[in-house]
Amino acid sequence: MAKETDEVRSAEFYRTLVRNAAEGMLTIDKNSDIVYANPAIEDILGYSPEELIGSSKMKIIPERLQSAHANALASYVETGERNIDWNGFELPALHKDGHEVPTLISLREHDHDGKQYFTGIIRDITERRHRENQLRDQKDRLNEFSEILTHDIRNPLSIAQGHAELAQEEHDIPEAEQIIESLERIDSLIEDVNALTQNGDTIVDVEPVAIETCATEAWRNVSTASAELCVEGALGRANADESQLHGFFENLFRNAVEHAGTDVAIQIGLLPDRKGMYVEDTGSGIPESIRGDIFEYGYTTNDNGTGYGLSIVQQIVNEHGWEIAVTESDAGGARFEITGMEFVDATDR
């Protein structure tokens, strides 16, 4: 009697778990008739369990897919051969109101009283699909941006490079050398963006890079007006792609000047115990409510901004295997903390 009571309690315990599961659960027999549905299925498909039990699973299958579903189950029952991944496959399900719901389904087979049953665990992946579509849209916008760089900028860039080199050769103008370096940097950035959009990622050529030297060179490539760059302590060298690290600093510096003003002070330094580095400014800071959005492609609070700067920063960080967090500086401005960097020598510049 005690053993029987324990079995009853155990069965009731598992029934409670199933009833309260966040994922939907449907059990069908070998004829595709629904014999069980848990309450969560109503949140996903709009049907209460009572509306589904006793009906065919075709009730929740879009009409165009019903024949394929029926044939797949019949084939498995007859041969035992699986033609899909039972651990997780995506299928559209039909909601009670008629619209289709993207779902992720995992299947399990079991016997009870000599009868064959199949239970599907169903998860609504609408939000995941939405995020995937957003990423595709962002990628499309980045591709458009790359085309602008390639077709609309490269031609005048080549002309400017030619004139700058000619001016340097014929007149030995001191400023011409800096102009040539800046134009070469623009050309390098175009190559990087093309690599990003055509290959899906950037090619990172990692080597020890002097952080302070890289940052000060990047500073010269940004229109900073009266803004000030301060370096706190000895930054040393870190393993990085030098070109990408240039772009990292340039975009952070440009972002600070655009949003905090041309009289902003920007400081870079190492985090305690050399866990990474920080770049912070004396501007008005970034509201906590939007800190999770600022790295998205196209996101900007500046009417004249492109929304690409910080997304490029995020991409560079990702390619290096680093992490970046946004917080507030002591002066109340924006502070970006980069961790996961590998330092070669903290004092050798």
d(CA 266, CA 253): 8
pLDDT of residue 349: 40
On the CB side of 100, CA atoms within 13 Å amount to 12
Question: Model confidence over 267-278: pLDDT tens digits?
Answer: 999 999 888 999
d(CA 299, CA 145): 14
Q: Provide the mean pLDDT of the chain.
A: 83
| pLDDT of 21 over the 80 cut | no
Asked whether the CA dihedral 84, 90, 91, 94 is positive or negative, the reply is positive
Question: Model confidence over 128-147: pLDDT tens digits?
Answer: 888 888 878 877 777 777 77
d(CA 89, CA 82): 12
pLDDT of residue 257: 87
- Residues of the chain with pLDDT > 90: what percent? 42
Burial of 66 (0-12, 13-18, 19+ CB in 10 A): middle
User: Which range (70-84, 191-205, 238-252) has the least confidence?
Assistant: 191-205
Rounded to an integer, the average pLDDT of 299-317 is 67
pLDDT of residue 245: 93
d(CA 103, CA 99): 13
d(CA 18, CA 39): 9
CB neighbours (10 Å) of residue 336?
Answer: 23
Beta bridge partners of 230: 267
Q: Please state, in angstroms and as integers, the Cα–Cα distance from residue 264 to each residue in 45, 49, 228, 256, following that order.
A: 54, 62, 7, 8
| pLDDT of 306 over the 50 cut | no
CA end-to-end span of the chain: 80
Q: Which helix (H) or strand (E) holds 221?
A: none
d(CA 143, CA 297): 11
pLDDT of residue 33: 94
Q: Are 280 and 255 in contact (CB under 8 A)?
A: no
Angle at 238 between CA 233 and CA 244, to 5 degrees: 110
pTM: 0.48
| pLDDT of 347 over the 50 cut | no
Question: Model confidence over 94-127: pLDDT tens digits?
Answer: 999 999 999 999 999 989 888 999 999 999 999 9
Rounded to an integer, the average pLDDT of 290-311 is 65
| pLDDT of 211 over the 90 cut | yes
Three-class DSSP category at 314? helix
The more confident residue out of 60 and 304 is 60
